[in-house]
Structure 1
């Protein structure tokens, strides 16, 4: 692996999904066959992710992206335990054939807007067959129930001032923001119009949100039930309860790429897994496979309009 190969692979791996698009992974080429995976300083979520589980899963997602991108160039790597504070080490093991998911590694996007007409017949059945860790729900009543739970759980999260402040720090509500195209959640990626983004910046401010909440208006402003109900399906993603978050993140990325390979766009609703009451309600209604935990819930379907451009850090910032 030449330095040029390494930079190209990192550029593709950088397109991997990460929590709040914080992009916490750095890369160091130790030699032609060894790469160290590192944690970027300051790219954690102390309030929303106090145990570091979501950031660890984000590292796993990025590593899976690296392995897929390397395989597309005929290079096989394996992930091993890190050394001296590293997240992991990647070691070359020889040549590789391209992963079937490689063609959508660069084109997968999060779609947080409303969805268009239903996908082609058989697509959801194929997804269910290829991803046994997904419970795919396509009945309107089931989707509506998930939408209602998501709104309740989201409002509870927004009521936490620390969480709201941390989220705002990663939101890019104006194209004039210097990090609009770099990281975090910009208004385009969140499916917001310019007016909606301007309003969000006001509504989520301290005291403003609390006032609106006391008036019973906050839920209507933060809810997204209509968007969720427009989805062709929602998919509950369960993984073994004792699985390391890094490994969960690798699988999370692959599941998302499977959706993209079938022509579906998706957005995660992780608050449904983070909120104990919402998670319990989902388990009561839809079941939970024995020995598993709910990682997230995806809403999925066909987007209306073009997918947003990715906001990503430069390769120079990611290689150390």
Structure 2
């Protein structure tokens, strides 16, 4: 049977960590147990207690990293069988971590997944998109029609509906001071921030200049937002409608409502890599899935299948440039597999 040692695990973990995670919190941690199996755990210090009270987004983030790990192993000819442990809520493996999955390395040679070549090219673009060619739209439409977990919203009427709903939903969420405080804790609005280049949402990721970032941080982390909102300026502060309307389309990603977040997260990473192939970047509008009223409005307009829940909505389109991925060092992603 093929095995992975600690040095190789660090390399694999760095590749797996190219996967998307909520607020770029990067909660996935890796270890080897005494039988040579790869363990995936969620670092609970990276849980968003306000924005993600049920830990579902953390599970989705770990699931995406798990898919990244499976692809990294397959690229080296190593297959795996996966034991999803998320729903067992295993918190006693070691303090501060939730055991999420166990990977048994198989003796069978694995074939490198076609999507794995796109992991380095996937990125989030939080600004206006470039114009889309008819050929790109055609390829996107053909793929979306074939996908069992995607609904395509495009054309000005559908885009305007999603864009307007996103702005209203964002304002409702940002009116919660606790949510804003938590968001600001994960924003890296100055290059002097000690975690600027490793995690969270920095100026480059947010497509902000230094002055804009400083103003945003001051506004969000103080009562000034509430004052501006009372003056009728709240919607203008969070509005993204004009940027959203430059997207080629919005993609509604849905999965069975009782599916483990780990499995949904694996599928989400494959979903994002799938449209990356067409030269598209993505920009999540997670609030549309998190806010029940918004999710229901989208369910009705775009006829989501019965028994499925909306996981996320991404506006997609060509980006004029790439944005670097800011990630934790590989050594921070690997744990000693022995329980404390």
The TM-score normalised by the length of structure 1 is 0.95
Shift of 1:33: 4.1
Asked if the contact 2:254–2:311 (Cα under 8 Å) also holds between the matched residues in 1, the reply is: yes
Distance 1:3 1:163 in 2: 38
Q: Secondary structure of the equivalent of 1:234?
A: strand
Distance 1:106 1:90 in 2: 23
Q: Secondary structure of the equivalent of 1:266?
A: strand
- Tell me, yes or no, if structure 1 residue 12 matches structure 2 residue 15: yes
Deviations 1:68-111 (A, max 9, x none): 11111111112114475421111101221100011011221111
Q: Secondary structure of the equivalent of 1:128?
A: helix
Structure 1 residue corresponding to 2:111, chosen from 91, 97, 107: 97
Q: Secondary structure of the equivalent of 2:122?
A: coil
Q: Secondary structure of the equivalent of 1:168?
A: helix
**Alignment-derived partner of residue 75 in structure 1:** 78
Distance 2:207 2:227 in 1: 25
Structure 1 residue corresponding to 2:279, chosen from 245, 263, 280: 263
- Tell me, yes or no, if structure 1 residue 172 matches structure 2 residue 185: no
- Tell me, yes or no, if structure 1 residue 238 matches structure 2 residue 254: yes
Deviations 1:19-42 (A, max 9, x none): 111111110122584111112141
Distance 2:164 2:179 in 1: 21
Structure 1 segment 174-213 matched on structure 2, within 5 A: 174-213=190-229
Report the more deviating stretch, 242-251 or 127-136.
Answer: 127-136
Distance 1:36 1:20 in 2: 23
- Tell me, yes or no, if structure 1 residue 318 matches structure 2 residue 321: no
Structure 1 segment 123-142 matched on structure 2, within 5 A: 123-142=139-158
Report the more deviating stretch, 204-213 or 33-42.
Answer: 33-42
The TM-score normalised by the length of structure 2 is 0.90
Shift of 1:63: 0.4
**Alignment-derived partner of residue 244 in structure 2:** 228
Asked if the contact 2:59–2:265 (Cα under 8 Å) also holds between the matched residues in 1, the reply is: yes
**Alignment-derived partner of residue 129 in structure 2:** 115
Query: Structure 1 residues 107 and 81, CA, compared in 2 at 3 Å: closer, same or farther?
Result: same
Asked if the contact 2:42–2:58 (Cα under 8 Å) also holds between the matched residues in 1, the reply is: no
Query: Structure 1 residues 143 and 39, CA, compared in 2 at 3 Å: closer, same or farther?
Result: same
Asked if the contact 1:123–1:262 (Cα under 8 Å) also holds between the matched residues in 2, the reply is: yes
Distance 2:124 2:220 in 1: 22
Asked if the contact 2:84–2:262 (Cα under 8 Å) also holds between the matched residues in 1, the reply is: no
Shift of 1:129: 4.0
Q: Secondary structure of the equivalent of 2:49?
A: coil
Shift of 1:126: 3.1
Query: Structure 1 residues 290 and 2, CA, compared in 2 at 3 Å: closer, same or farther?
Result: same
Asked if the contact 1:119–1:232 (Cα under 8 Å) also holds between the matched residues in 2, the reply is: no
Shift of 1:300: 0.1
Runs of 5+ unmatched residues, structure 2: 94-98, 336-340
Distance 1:41 1:186 in 2: 22
Asked if the contact 1:174–1:197 (Cα under 8 Å) also holds between the matched residues in 2, the reply is: yes
**Alignment-derived partner of residue 300 in structure 1:** 316
Structure 1 segment 47-58 matched on structure 2, within 5 A: 47-58=50-61
Query: Structure 1 residues 278 and 239, CA, compared in 2 at 3 Å: closer, same or farther?
Result: same
Asked if the contact 1:2–1:32 (Cα under 8 Å) also holds between the matched residues in 2, the reply is: no
Shift of 1:124: 1.4
Structure 1 moving runs of 4+ over 6 Å: none
What is the CA RMSD across the aligned residues, in angstroms? 1.5
